[in-house]
């Protein structure tokens, strides 16, 4: 619908975003933006607000104040066209959330057929194409339960890709996976980044963030505490990030 190219503009921009859950202030004046083709990693401790910030972008959470613009949609406004927004934004969750009653192919073709009105044949071709992108062509007719966690997550990424989003959001997509399976999912995301996909990811994989992210946003107590290129992970300027990176490295 909103087809006008936002060439020099940001794909995602948050300005002074406020969000509280009851008395708890989760986002306290968060601002950052993501340019086309950029990969932004949101890092921080549990409870720092990074996942909430990500969910606000796709309006899974309503903000209390501030401005969010995503692909031209004013997400903070109550009258935002949610379905148009979500056609532009793909989101992948920690728990995969594939539809268990549908095959992988049906999982992928559902939204393109139902939302974009694609013909079945076209949608099936598309399913094959996106599954090839994540290296799962042979699982076309499998059910989610027959796949490993890593394969399910790759299928979920393929499902999201089939809607041809302008930006993809990843919410701790490897947190439920063991290190071996994490690797195969990260490889897929790396390939997407190489293909120029705009991405925002919440991640605990510091090594991965360092390798792939154009920009790091470190969140602390609901605020953007430190931001900069991936090099801030090796030479942080705030004591909080220093400590966070230190403990992160110890863990992994």
Partner 1 sequence: MGGHLNINHLIFLGQGALWTIGLSVIALIGGGIVGFVIALARISPLKSVRIASAVYVQLIQGTPLLVILFLGYFGLAAIGLQVSPLAAAGASLTLYVAAYLGEIWRGCIQSVPKPQWEAAEGLALSRTQRMMKVILPQAIRIATPPTVGFMVQIVKNTSLASVVGFVELMRSGQIVNNSLFEPFAIYAIIAVTYFAMCYPLSLFSQRLERRMGRGRSNLAPA
Nearest to 184 by CA among 154, 209, 213: 154
Q: How far is C-alpha 28 from the geometric centre of its chain's CA atoms?
A: 21
Return the ∠ at Cα 45 (arms to 85 and 97), rounded to 5°: 45
Joined tokens for residue 9: 């503009």
Residue 82's alpha-carbon distances to 57, 70, 89, 136, 164, in angstroms, are 11, 11, 10, 30, 16
Nearest to 49 by CA among 16, 25, 23, 14: 25
Residue 118 touching partner 1 (CB under 8 A)? no
Region from 20-28, 143-151, 183-191, 200-208 binding partner 1, contact rule CB under 8 A? 143-151
Q: How far is C-alpha 121 from the geometric centre of its chain's CA atoms?
A: 29
Residue 101 touching partner 1 (CB under 8 A)? yes
Residue 140 touching partner 1 (CB under 8 A)? no
What is the SS3 assignment for 46? coil
Q: Which of 43, 71, 91, 202 binds partner 1 (CB under 8 A)?
A: 91
Q: Which of 26, 63, 96, 157 binds partner 1 (CB under 8 A)?
A: 96
Q: Which of 115, 120, 229, 252 binds partner 1 (CB under 8 A)?
A: 115
Nearest to 90 by CA among 138, 133, 45, 32: 133
Joined tokens for residue 42: 């949101």
For residue 179, the minimal CB distance to partner 1 (Å) is 17
Sequence-distant (6+) residues with CB within 8 A of 107 are 98, 99, 144, 155, 159
Region from 84-92, 134-142, 200-208, 226-234 binding partner 1, contact rule CB under 8 A? 84-92
For residue 100, the minimal CB distance to partner 1 (Å) is 5
Q: Which of 26, 36, 41, 93 binds partner 1 (CB under 8 A)?
A: 93
Residue 60 touching partner 1 (CB under 8 A)? yes
Residue 142 touching partner 1 (CB under 8 A)? no
For residue 137, the minimal CB distance to partner 1 (Å) is 21
d(CA 223, CA 225): 6
How many C-beta neighbours within 10 Å does residue 242 have?
13
Contacts (CB under 8 A) with partner 1, residues 159-188: 159-160, 163, 176
Residue 87 touching partner 1 (CB under 8 A)? yes
Residue 36 touching partner 1 (CB under 8 A)? no
For residue 249, the minimal CB distance to partner 1 (Å) is 27
Strands 89-92 and 167-171, bridge-based pairing? parallel
Residue with Cβ nearer partner 1 (84 or 140): 84
Residues in the site for partner 1, rule: CB under 8 A? 58, 60, 82-84, 86-87, 89-91, 93, 95-101, 110-111, 114-115, 143-145, 149, 152, 156, 159-160, 163, 176
């Amino acid at each position: 619908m909103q087809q006008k190219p936002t060439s020099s503009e940001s794909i995602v921009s948050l300005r002074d975003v406020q969000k509280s859950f009851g008395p708890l202030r989760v986002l306290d004046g968060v601002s950052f933006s993501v340019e086309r083709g950029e990969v932004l990693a949101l890092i921080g401790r549990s409870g720092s607000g990074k996942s909430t910030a990500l969910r606000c972008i796709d309006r899974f959470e309503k903000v209390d104040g501030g401005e969010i613009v995503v692909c031209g949609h004013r997400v903070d406004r109550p009258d935002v066209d949610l379905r148009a927004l979500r056609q532009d934004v793909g989101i992948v969750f920690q728990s995969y959330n594939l539809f268990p009653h549908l095959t992988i192919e049906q999982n992928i073709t559902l939204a393109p057929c139902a939302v974009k009105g694609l013909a079945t044949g076209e949608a099936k071709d598309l399913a094959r194409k996106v599954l090839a992108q994540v290296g799962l062509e042979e699982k076309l007719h499998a059910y989610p339960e027959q796949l490993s966690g890593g394969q399910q997550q790759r299928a979920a990424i393929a499902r999201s890709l089939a809607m041809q989003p302008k930006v993809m959001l990843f919410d701790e997509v490897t947190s439920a996976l063991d290190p071996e399976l994490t690797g195969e999912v990260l490889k897929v995301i790396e390939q997407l980044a190489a293909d120029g996909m705009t991405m925002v990811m919440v991640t605990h994989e510091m090594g991965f963030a360092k390798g792939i992210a154009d920009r790091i946003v470190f969140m602390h107590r609901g605020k953007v505490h430190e931001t900069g290129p991936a090099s801030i992970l090796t030479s942080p300027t705030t004591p909080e990030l220093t400590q966070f990176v230190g403990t992160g490295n110890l863990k992994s």
